[in-house]
């Protein structure tokens, strides 16, 4: 005869660290976003350790192995000077990462400051800032970029600042819209009635509420900046050769030797597409999961 004895569960469930729990949740609820995240982190890893990972020197030429198709020695083939395409892609990833993060970071900060001031203060300030943004947005991006680059000359700092300003000012609209809708909420009045200063309210009450928008803005900006930088390099206005960027690899060897060595165009092109797509998907997933209001909604 057996007796059923109730045994209490041992000391509760094992506690996972919040970061692990969050990532597990992302894989469960947003598999596509999680894959995007993995690709994004592989990209970051490659960017950070590009110097170590690259099997050959970036500008190491090898006249005996020119325009070779991908092989075990050269996983992505070689270009017309016998340089290893994989090594150049890795260093290119590093540059894309640096430019992407710096410029998108700058753009996001500009968007937040302009958007919050404009949206929260309102009135004449809002009007002035918004008309300025309107005027700014009437300039075509590319024309502005070309003009400025041709004046100050190509280089990473210039590109970061210009792209940061360009996307930051345009993006302030989106932040402003979010701020205006948050400002009218009762809890901002409640915070005022509690004696909080304006800056405190902006930082502790408004900013967390527009964070979902900011996250998406930042991630889409990283993608957009990487693309814009590639576009500039394609036009020969980006980071000057022989530094390998994905854009210049596409336009230089990639275009010229498209028929002899299609891998020369495919490698940077595919990297660009996959990384930008992954960043966007990852950003969306992050936004959905980080917003407490969306929790448990699926």
Partner 1 sequence: MGSPLLDIEHLSVTFRTDRGEVRAVDDVSLHVNEGETLAVVGESGSGKSVTALSILGLIGDNGSITNGRILFDGADLTRLGKADLRAIRGDRIAMIFQEPMSSLNPVLTIGKQVAEPMWLHRDMTWDDAYQRAGELLARVSIPDAAQRLNDYPHHFSGGMRQRVMIAMALACEPQLIIADEPTTALDVTVQAQILSLLKNLTRELNSSLILITHDLGVVARYADRVAVMYGGRVIETTTARNLYANPRHPYTEGLIASVPSLDGNPGEPLMTIAGQPPDLANLPPGCAFAPRCRYAQERCLEAQPSLEAVSEGHLRACFGYDHV
CB neighbours of residue 27 within 10 Å: 13
Cα separation, 211 vs 61, in Å, equals 47
How far does CA 238 lie from the centroid of its chain?
Answer: 18
Cα separation, 279 vs 298, in Å, equals 23
Please tell me whether residue 195 binds partner 1 under the rule CB under 8 A: yes
Q: What token pair was written down for 245?
A: 């960027």
Using CB under 8 A, pick the residue from 197, 241, 242, 255 that binds partner 1: 197
At 229, which helix (H) or strand (E)?
A: helix 207-234
Please tell me whether residue 203 binds partner 1 under the rule CB under 8 A: no
Restricting to residues 147-186, name those near partner 1 by CB under 8 A: 185-186
Exposure letters 239-257 (e unless 16+ CB within 10 A, then b): beeebbbbbbbbbbbbeeb
Instruction: Compute the least distance from the CB of residue 117 to partner 1, in Å.
Output: 15
Using CB under 8 A, pick the residue from 122, 177, 262, 269 that binds partner 1: 122
**Beta carbon nearer to partner 1, 7 or 297:** 297
Using CB under 8 A, pick the residue from 194, 199, 259, 298 that binds partner 1: 194
Instruction: Compute the least distance from the CB of residue 217 to partner 1, in Å.
Output: 17
Residues 6+ apart with CB under 8 A from 220: 279, 280, 283
- Max CA-CA distance within the chain? 93
**Beta carbon nearer to partner 1, 109 or 196:** 196
Using CB under 8 A, pick the residue from 189, 240, 258, 260 that binds partner 1: 189
Please tell me whether residue 131 binds partner 1 under the rule CB under 8 A: no
Restricting to residues 204-233, name those near partner 1 by CB under 8 A: 204-205, 208-209, 211
Please tell me whether residue 126 binds partner 1 under the rule CB under 8 A: no
**Beta carbon nearer to partner 1, 137 or 290:** 290
Cα separation, 146 vs 149, in Å, equals 5
* Total chain residues near partner 1 (CB under 8 A): 24
Please tell me whether residue 123 binds partner 1 under the rule CB under 8 A: yes
Q: What token pair was written down for 103?
A: 């410029």
**Beta carbon nearer to partner 1, 140 or 292:** 292
Cα separation, 286 vs 290, in Å, equals 6
Rg for the chain, CA atoms, rounded: 24
- State the residues that interact with partner 1 by CB under 8 A: 122-123, 185-187, 189-197, 200, 204-205, 208-209, 211, 291-293, 295
């Amino acid at each position: 005869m057996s007796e059923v004895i109730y045994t209490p569960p041992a000391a509760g469930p094992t506690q996972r660290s919040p970061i692990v729990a969050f990532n597990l949740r992302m894989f469960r609820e947003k598999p596509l976003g999680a894959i995007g995240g993995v690709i994004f982190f592989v990209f970051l890893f490659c960017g950070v350790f590009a110097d170590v990972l690259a099997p050959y020197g970036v500008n190491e030429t090898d006249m005996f192995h020119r325009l070779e198709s991908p092989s075990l020695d050269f996983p992505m083939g070689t270009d017309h000077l016998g340089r290893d395409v994989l090594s150049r892609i890795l260093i290119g990833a590093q540059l894309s990462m640096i430019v992407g993060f710096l410029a998108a970071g700058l753009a996001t900060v500009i968007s937040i400051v302009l958007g919050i001031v404009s949206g929260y203060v309102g009135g004449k300030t809002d009007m002035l800032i918004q008309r300025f943004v309107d005027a700014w947005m009437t300039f075509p991006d590319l024309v502005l970029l070309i003009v400025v680059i041709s004046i100050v000359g190509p280089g990473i700092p210039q590109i970061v600042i210009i792209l940061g300003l360009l996307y930051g000012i345009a993006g302030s609209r989106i932040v402003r819209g979010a701020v205006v809708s948050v400002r009218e909420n009762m809890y901002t009045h409640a915070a005022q009635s509690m004696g909080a200063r304006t800056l405190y309210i902006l930082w502790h009450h408004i900013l967390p509420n527009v964070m979902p928008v900011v996250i998406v803005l930042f991630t889409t900006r990283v993608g957009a900046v990487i693309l814009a930088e590639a576009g500039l390099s394609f036009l020969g206005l980006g980071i000057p050769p022989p530094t390998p960027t994905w854009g210049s690899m596409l336009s230089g060897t990639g275009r010229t030797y498209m028929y002899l060595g299609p891998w020369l165009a495919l490698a940077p092109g595919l990297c660009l597409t996959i990384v930008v797509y992954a960043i966007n998907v990852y950003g969306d997933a992050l936004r959905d999961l980080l917003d407490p209001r969306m929790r448990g909604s699926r």
